[in-house]
Structure formats: C-alpha cells, structure tokens
Amino acid sequence: MERAIGIELRKLSNLTCRYFEQQSNKEQVDAITGTNGWIIAYIANQRDKGFPVYQRDLETRFGITRSTASKVVSLMVQKGLLEQRGVPGDRRLRQLIVTSRAEEIKKLMDEDYCRFEETLRRGFSAEELQTLFSLLDRLKDNLTQKNEREEQQKA
C-alpha cells in the first residue's frame, strides 16, 4: 500500500510534539499551550517590525475561525499573556499586546525553536527546502480550496 500524506503529516506532528516535550525549557513554558506560544511569537515579531496585530490577523496567519481566535485571545488575556488595547479612531479594533510574562516565555521558546529548526533542516540543501515549502504550500492550497468550495455549496 502507498504511504498516505495525512498519516505522514500526523506522524510528523506527533514527533514535533514529542520533541518539544523533551526540551530543556519545557517546565518554564508549560504554562502555555503550543498554539499560545506561536501566537506570542507572532505578535512579538510583528511588534518588532513595527506592525500592530489584531484578532483578524491571527485568523489569517493561523488559519483559524473568528470564534476560535476570540476564545484563544480571551484565554490568553485571562492567563496574563496578552493585553487588548483600544485603537484611537476605531472603537471596534483592539490591538493585541504581549505582556512581560509572555516576553519571558518567548525568550525560552525562541531558544527551543532555533534548535528545532536546525534539527529539521539538517541534511537538506537550499533547493530541497524550497521544494519542500512549495509542496507544503500546495497541500495547504488544496485543502483551502476544498473548504471554500464546501462553504460555497452550503450557502
């Protein structure tokens, strides 16, 4: 039988989870979920580039629904990882800001993430990495298009 892409992606996801479970900074970072960690990193990186981040940016960046993003943001605010600040001139918008607690956790996560990326990239040429990312983009596009077609059929 041929290898199934979905199963291989699931295996890779499981290996990724196990990798981070074994990292040296795990105890300090345990207070947050993996998704919260990605969100903290994204917001901090965007801030460092001079770009504000809003909930809709999380929806786009992480491919999550509005309700999921809303729940995640609310929980992260409750945990003291994010603050929401009003935007002058638009009462509907709330800028997402990482707290000092989240900054400390981000530094530890950055150390682990750099080691993770180095491990994943080991033995790959630049051309192979370019091909890999192209293939991953195609998989994401396939799923996005299918989901959009199904949404249109429901409407």
Helix H segments across 22-99? 26-29, 34-48, 55-62, 66-78
Which CATH number do you get for residue 100? 1.10.10.10
Claim to verify: residue 131 and residue 85 sit in the same structural domain? no
| pTM of the full structure | 0.60
pLDDT of residue 30: 60
Max CA distance (Å), the chain: 59
The contacts of residue 32 (CB under 8 Å, 6+ apart) are 40, 79, 81, 105
pLDDT of residue 139: 96
d(CA 37, CA 34): 5
Q: Provide the token pair at 125.
A: 């040429």
Report the domain count for the chain: 2
User: Helix and strand tally (H, E) in the chain?
Assistant: 7, 2
Claim to verify: residue 32 and residue 106 sit in the same structural domain? yes
Q: What is the pLDDT along the chain (155 residues), one digit of tens a residue?
A: 799 999 999 999 999 888 877 876 666 666 566 688 889 989 999 999 999 999 999 999 998 999 999 999 999 999 999 999 998 888 888 999 999 999 988 888 888 889 999 999 999 999 999 999 999 999 999 999 999 999 888 87
Claim to verify: residue 66 and residue 117 sit in the same structural domain? yes
Claim to verify: residue 142 and residue 107 sit in the same structural domain? no
3-state secondary structure of 83: strand
Beta strand segments in the chain, E: 82-87, 90-98
Claim to verify: residue 83 and residue 96 sit in the same structural domain? yes
pLDDT of residue 112: 83
Domain residues for the domain of 84 are 5-122
Claim to verify: residue 21 and residue 57 sit in the same structural domain? yes
Which run of H or of E encompasses 87? strand 82-87
pLDDT of residue 3: 93
pLDDT of residue 23: 74
